[in-house]
Structure 1
Amino acid sequence: MIRALLSFLGYVALALGGLGIFLPLLPTTPFLLLAAFCFLRGSPRMHAWLMSHRILGPYIRDFQAGRGIPLRSKCIALALMWPSLALSASIMPVPWARWFLLIPGIGVTIYLWRLPTRPGGAADRPDPPPDQISRE
Protein backbone atom coordinates (compact mmCIF):
# COMPACT_ATOMS: atom_id res chain seq x y z
CA MET A 1 0.00 0.00 0.00
CA ILE A 2 2.80 2.44 0.90
CA ARG A 3 4.70 1.58 -2.28
CA ALA A 4 1.60 2.34 -4.35
CA LEU A 5 1.13 5.66 -2.55
CA LEU A 6 4.80 6.60 -3.06
CA SER A 7 4.58 5.64 -6.74
CA PHE A 8 1.46 7.78 -7.14
CA LEU A 9 3.14 10.73 -5.41
CA GLY A 10 6.19 10.20 -7.64
CA TYR A 11 4.05 10.42 -10.77
CA VAL A 12 2.31 13.55 -9.47
CA ALA A 13 5.66 15.17 -8.61
CA LEU A 14 7.07 14.20 -12.02
CA ALA A 15 4.05 15.75 -13.77
CA LEU A 16 4.34 18.95 -11.72
CA GLY A 17 8.07 19.09 -12.44
CA GLY A 18 7.33 18.69 -16.14
CA LEU A 19 4.81 21.53 -15.99
CA GLY A 20 7.36 23.63 -14.12
CA ILE A 21 9.57 23.60 -17.18
CA PHE A 22 6.95 25.70 -18.97
CA LEU A 23 5.20 27.60 -16.15
CA PRO A 24 7.29 30.38 -14.60
CA LEU A 25 6.14 30.16 -10.96
CA LEU A 26 6.09 26.37 -10.67
CA PRO A 27 9.52 25.04 -9.64
CA THR A 28 10.94 22.12 -11.58
CA THR A 29 13.90 20.88 -9.54
CA PRO A 30 12.15 20.37 -6.18
CA PHE A 31 9.41 18.33 -7.83
CA LEU A 32 11.93 16.20 -9.73
CA LEU A 33 13.87 15.58 -6.52
CA LEU A 34 10.63 14.62 -4.77
CA ALA A 35 9.78 12.28 -7.66
CA ALA A 36 13.21 10.65 -7.41
CA PHE A 37 12.74 10.16 -3.65
CA CYS A 38 9.25 8.69 -4.05
CA PHE A 39 10.27 6.42 -6.91
CA LEU A 40 13.31 5.19 -4.99
CA ARG A 41 10.99 3.69 -2.39
CA GLY A 42 7.88 3.13 -4.49
CA SER A 43 8.95 2.11 -7.99
CA PRO A 44 12.57 1.07 -8.59
CA ARG A 45 11.87 0.85 -12.33
CA MET A 46 10.69 4.47 -12.53
CA HIS A 47 13.57 5.59 -10.29
CA ALA A 48 16.06 3.93 -12.64
CA TRP A 49 14.33 5.54 -15.63
CA LEU A 50 14.40 9.00 -14.05
CA MET A 51 18.01 8.74 -12.93
CA SER A 52 19.15 7.48 -16.34
CA HIS A 53 17.07 10.02 -18.26
CA ARG A 54 19.26 11.73 -20.85
CA ILE A 55 18.34 15.28 -19.78
CA LEU A 56 16.94 15.11 -16.24
CA GLY A 57 19.16 12.38 -14.80
CA PRO A 58 22.49 14.25 -14.73
CA TYR A 59 20.94 17.29 -13.05
CA ILE A 60 19.21 15.22 -10.36
CA ARG A 61 22.35 13.19 -9.67
CA ASP A 62 24.58 16.27 -9.53
CA PHE A 63 22.16 18.08 -7.23
CA GLN A 64 21.86 15.09 -4.90
CA ALA A 65 25.64 14.70 -4.79
CA GLY A 66 26.12 18.40 -3.96
CA ARG A 67 28.00 19.13 -7.18
CA GLY A 68 25.62 21.95 -8.08
CA ILE A 69 24.40 22.99 -11.50
CA PRO A 70 26.19 24.55 -14.50
CA LEU A 71 26.42 28.33 -14.75
CA ARG A 72 24.71 28.15 -18.12
CA SER A 73 21.66 26.48 -16.54
CA LYS A 74 21.49 29.14 -13.83
CA CYS A 75 21.64 31.91 -16.43
CA ILE A 76 18.99 30.30 -18.64
CA ALA A 77 16.67 29.78 -15.66
CA LEU A 78 16.98 33.41 -14.61
CA ALA A 79 16.76 34.70 -18.17
CA LEU A 80 13.45 32.86 -18.61
CA MET A 81 12.05 33.49 -15.13
CA TRP A 82 12.35 37.29 -14.94
CA PRO A 83 10.67 38.05 -18.29
CA SER A 84 7.93 35.56 -17.37
CA LEU A 85 7.41 37.34 -14.07
CA ALA A 86 7.35 40.70 -15.84
CA LEU A 87 4.74 39.40 -18.29
CA SER A 88 2.70 37.99 -15.41
CA ALA A 89 2.90 41.34 -13.61
CA SER A 90 1.81 43.22 -16.72
CA ILE A 91 -1.38 41.17 -17.06
CA MET A 92 -2.13 41.01 -13.32
CA PRO A 93 -5.53 42.69 -12.86
CA VAL A 94 -4.80 43.93 -9.32
CA PRO A 95 -2.01 46.53 -9.48
CA TRP A 96 -0.86 46.28 -5.86
CA ALA A 97 -0.58 42.46 -6.15
CA ARG A 98 2.05 42.79 -8.88
CA TRP A 99 4.66 43.49 -6.22
CA PHE A 100 4.07 40.05 -4.69
CA LEU A 101 5.65 38.50 -7.80
CA LEU A 102 8.97 39.88 -6.62
CA ILE A 103 8.93 37.50 -3.65
CA PRO A 104 9.36 34.25 -5.62
CA GLY A 105 11.56 36.01 -8.18
CA ILE A 106 14.03 37.27 -5.60
CA GLY A 107 13.83 34.02 -3.62
CA VAL A 108 14.61 31.82 -6.63
CA THR A 109 17.38 34.17 -7.78
CA ILE A 110 19.08 34.04 -4.36
CA TYR A 111 18.60 30.27 -4.17
CA LEU A 112 20.12 29.67 -7.62
CA TRP A 113 23.13 31.88 -7.02
CA ARG A 114 23.83 30.22 -3.66
CA LEU A 115 23.89 26.75 -5.23
CA PRO A 116 27.36 25.45 -6.09
CA THR A 117 28.26 26.17 -9.70
CA ARG A 118 29.66 23.27 -11.67
CA PRO A 119 31.74 24.21 -14.70
CA GLY A 120 30.44 23.13 -18.07
CA GLY A 121 27.20 21.42 -18.97
CA ALA A 122 25.74 18.04 -18.19
CA ALA A 123 27.10 16.69 -21.47
CA ASP A 124 30.70 17.61 -20.60
CA ARG A 125 31.32 14.44 -18.63
CA PRO A 126 30.25 10.86 -19.02
CA ASP A 127 27.46 9.65 -16.77
CA PRO A 128 27.79 6.42 -14.81
CA PRO A 129 25.59 3.56 -15.96
CA PRO A 130 22.23 3.48 -14.12
CA ASP A 131 23.17 0.30 -12.25
CA GLN A 132 26.21 2.07 -10.74
CA ILE A 133 24.29 5.12 -9.47
CA SER A 134 24.42 5.50 -5.70
CA ARG A 135 21.03 5.12 -4.04
CA GLU A 136 21.73 6.88 -0.78
Structure 2
Amino acid sequence: MAIVGVILPLLPTVPFLLLATFFFANSSERLHDWIISHNIFGPMILDWRENGAIRPTAKKAATGSIAAVFLLSLMLGAPSRILIIQAVVLSGVLTFIWSRPNG
Protein backbone atom coordinates (compact mmCIF):
# COMPACT_ATOMS: atom_id res chain seq x y z
CA MET A 1 0.00 0.00 0.00
CA ALA A 2 2.89 2.38 0.73
CA ILE A 3 4.28 1.86 -2.77
CA VAL A 4 0.86 2.62 -4.25
CA GLY A 5 0.71 5.70 -2.00
CA VAL A 6 3.89 7.03 -3.57
CA ILE A 7 2.18 6.96 -6.97
CA LEU A 8 -1.38 7.99 -6.04
CA PRO A 9 -1.58 11.44 -4.46
CA LEU A 10 -4.69 10.79 -2.34
CA LEU A 11 -3.37 7.63 -0.68
CA PRO A 12 -1.11 8.26 2.32
CA THR A 13 2.36 6.74 2.23
CA VAL A 14 3.94 7.30 5.63
CA PRO A 15 1.30 5.54 7.79
CA PHE A 16 1.59 2.43 5.64
CA LEU A 17 5.38 2.62 5.82
CA LEU A 18 5.29 2.88 9.60
CA LEU A 19 2.91 -0.07 9.84
CA ALA A 20 5.05 -2.13 7.49
CA THR A 21 8.16 -1.31 9.49
CA PHE A 22 6.44 -2.26 12.74
CA PHE A 23 5.21 -5.57 11.35
CA PHE A 24 8.52 -6.31 9.62
CA ALA A 25 10.40 -5.61 12.85
CA ASN A 26 8.22 -8.09 14.68
CA SER A 27 8.15 -10.75 11.98
CA SER A 28 11.35 -10.70 9.97
CA GLU A 29 14.65 -9.01 10.67
CA ARG A 30 15.55 -9.37 6.99
CA LEU A 31 12.42 -7.50 5.82
CA HIS A 32 12.86 -4.86 8.51
CA ASP A 33 16.45 -4.25 7.43
CA TRP A 34 15.33 -4.09 3.80
CA ILE A 35 12.71 -1.38 4.35
CA ILE A 36 15.00 0.64 6.64
CA SER A 37 17.79 0.56 4.03
CA HIS A 38 15.42 1.30 1.10
CA ASN A 39 16.49 4.43 -0.81
CA ILE A 40 13.03 6.03 -0.83
CA PHE A 41 11.27 4.69 2.26
CA GLY A 42 14.18 4.28 4.68
CA PRO A 43 14.95 7.97 5.27
CA MET A 44 11.29 8.81 5.95
CA ILE A 45 11.01 6.00 8.48
CA LEU A 46 14.25 6.94 10.21
CA ASP A 47 13.23 10.63 10.36
CA TRP A 48 10.01 9.64 12.09
CA ARG A 49 11.57 7.06 14.41
CA GLU A 50 14.48 9.23 15.53
CA ASN A 51 12.87 12.68 15.70
CA GLY A 52 9.13 12.35 15.03
CA ALA A 53 9.94 14.43 11.95
CA ILE A 54 8.17 14.75 8.62
CA ARG A 55 9.96 16.17 5.59
CA PRO A 56 8.67 19.50 4.21
CA THR A 57 7.92 17.95 0.81
CA ALA A 58 5.79 15.29 2.53
CA LYS A 59 3.99 18.00 4.52
CA LYS A 60 3.23 19.92 1.33
CA ALA A 61 2.06 16.76 -0.44
CA ALA A 62 -0.20 15.88 2.49
CA THR A 63 -1.64 19.39 2.54
CA GLY A 64 -2.33 19.27 -1.19
CA SER A 65 -3.97 15.85 -0.90
CA ILE A 66 -6.14 16.95 2.00
CA ALA A 67 -7.22 20.08 0.14
CA ALA A 68 -8.01 17.99 -2.96
CA VAL A 69 -10.16 15.58 -0.94
CA PHE A 70 -12.08 18.44 0.66
CA LEU A 71 -12.58 20.21 -2.66
CA LEU A 72 -13.78 16.95 -4.21
CA SER A 73 -16.34 16.62 -1.42
CA LEU A 74 -17.50 20.17 -2.10
CA MET A 75 -17.76 19.56 -5.85
CA LEU A 76 -19.70 16.32 -5.32
CA GLY A 77 -22.18 18.15 -3.12
CA ALA A 78 -21.56 16.38 0.18
CA PRO A 79 -24.07 17.31 2.90
CA SER A 80 -23.12 20.22 5.16
CA ARG A 81 -22.71 18.04 8.27
CA ILE A 82 -20.25 15.81 6.38
CA LEU A 83 -18.27 18.85 5.23
CA ILE A 84 -18.14 20.18 8.79
CA ILE A 85 -16.91 16.84 10.12
CA GLN A 86 -14.34 16.64 7.33
CA ALA A 87 -13.16 20.18 7.99
CA VAL A 88 -12.69 19.50 11.70
CA VAL A 89 -10.92 16.17 11.22
CA LEU A 90 -8.75 17.33 8.33
CA SER A 91 -7.80 20.49 10.23
CA GLY A 92 -6.67 18.30 13.12
CA VAL A 93 -4.62 16.15 10.78
CA LEU A 94 -2.99 19.22 9.21
CA THR A 95 -2.27 20.68 12.63
CA PHE A 96 -0.54 17.45 13.64
CA ILE A 97 1.45 17.22 10.40
CA TRP A 98 2.65 20.83 10.47
CA SER A 99 3.47 20.70 14.21
CA ARG A 100 6.05 17.94 13.61
CA PRO A 101 9.66 18.99 13.15
CA ASN A 102 11.08 19.03 9.63
CA GLY A 103 13.00 15.92 8.62
Q: Give SS of 2:51's match.
A: coil
Relative contact order higher in (CA < 8 Å, ≥ 6 apart): 2
Residue identity matched to 1:97: I
How many residues get paired?
A: 102
Match of 2:13 in 1: 28
Residue identity matched to 2:48: F
The structure carrying a bigger helix percent of its residues is: 2
Residue identity matched to 1:91: L
Match of 1:83 in 2: 68
Identify unmatched segments of 5+ residues in structure 2: none
Is residue 44 from structure 1 mapped to residue 29 from structure 2 by the alignment?
A: yes
Larger Rg: 1
Root mean square deviation, CA, Å: 2.3
Percent identical among aligned pairs is 31
TM-score (norm 2): 0.78
Query: Comparing 46-55 with 107-116, which one deviates more in the overlay?
Result: 46-55
Match of 2:43 in 1: 58
Report the alpha carbon displacement of residue 76 of structure 1 after superposing the two structures with TM: 2.4
Residues 105-124 of structure 1 mapped to structure 2, 5 A cutoff: 105-118=90-103
**Which stretches of structure 1, 4 residues or longer, exceed 4 Å deviation after superposition?**
18-21
Report the alpha carbon displacement of residue 18 of structure 1 after superposing the two structures with TM: 4.3
Identify unmatched segments of 5+ residues in structure 1: 1-14, 119-136
